[in-house]
Homo-oligomer: A and B are copies of this chain.
Amino acid sequence: MRETQILDRIRKLAARAPRSRTLIQGIGDDCAILRPDARHDLVFTSDFLLEDRHFTRAIYSPADIGHKALARGLSDIAAMGAEPIFCLVSLGIPRDLPASWVPSFYKGFLALATRYKTSLAGGDLARFEKIIVDVTCCGRVPRGKALLRSAAKPGDAIYVTGKLGKKKAWLEKDWRRNRRPEPRIHAGIALRRLGIRCAMDISDGLSLDLHRLCVESKVGADITAHLSDDALHSGEAYELLFTAPPRLAVPPRIETTPVASIGVITSQHKGRVLFQGRPLAPLGFDHFAGRD
């Protein structure tokens, strides 16, 4: 297939997905065009999904790859308490893929995009030796209401969504969830409406991500819950980490997602995390350590 034919195909697939009224030009020009309003702030994130780094072709179907490439970005949008508007996809693919690969990739991608009303507004397409995807997502949030890593205050309780550390007895549904993570978009919006100001997503493991939150907020954290090593350090959870002032009643479920209190923000040991009274090393997934 020539590039023009592939682009026409993608454009037709994208046209079936919902389109935000604020997106006045999608695929087809040098740029996508958004008509913003002054009541909302816009949030932006870009995330790679790379073959043999984040997935393998043996385990991930084209639709899995499409799903996960978008889920990574939507998880960041969720962490801001924002609702997604549109995304751009840069896709590099080898020549040896079957002709059905690209449509299947976009079907997986657009199924998730449709669920969260995210328009596919543009991107890039190139030949490359391996499958490489970079997705940029844009979301909107009422002005000044974005959930920030830097907004934690001493005395805040620390919470996580979902169930941490279930890796030891991985079942088929866990594998499926790893290939098709569900971004916590509804939970993020609900938290923002509840009055939460501080959140981030756990993409590299609780110990590393909570450490980052402490650095940005210039606070310490004390984890008091009994958590396994796996719960403390394993990455790819796509859950939300957030803090709430003590006066704010956080329900045990946000939408359909369980929420657990795991500790408290402190004014001591700024930028440090304690686990049951002892310093906890940020051992989560470092994208530059480990294997190449």
State the Cβ distance, A121 to closest chain B Cβ, in Å.
7
For A96, give the chain B residue with the smallest CB separation.
Answer: B292
Most buried by B among A33, A77, A216: A33
Choice from B41, B132, B146, B292 contacting A127 with Cβ under 8 Å: B292
The reply to whether A48 and B124 form a contact with Cβ atoms under 8 Å apart is yes
Residues in B whose Cβ lies below 8 Å from that of A77: 31
Q: Does A17 belong to the interface (CB within 8 Å)?
A: no
Copies of this chain, count: 2
Residues in B whose Cβ lies below 8 Å from that of A2: 286, 288-289
Number of A residues whose C-beta is below 8 Å from B?
Answer: 69
Q: Does A225 belong to the interface (CB within 8 Å)?
A: no
Residues in B whose Cβ lies below 8 Å from that of A128: 50, 53, 132
CB-defined A-B contacts under 8 Å, sample of 17: A2-B288, A2-B289, A3-B286, A4-B286, A28-B150, A29-B148, A30-B76, A30-B149, A31-B77, A31-B79, A33-B42, A36-B40, A44-B136, A46-B89, A46-B134, A47-B124, A88-B136
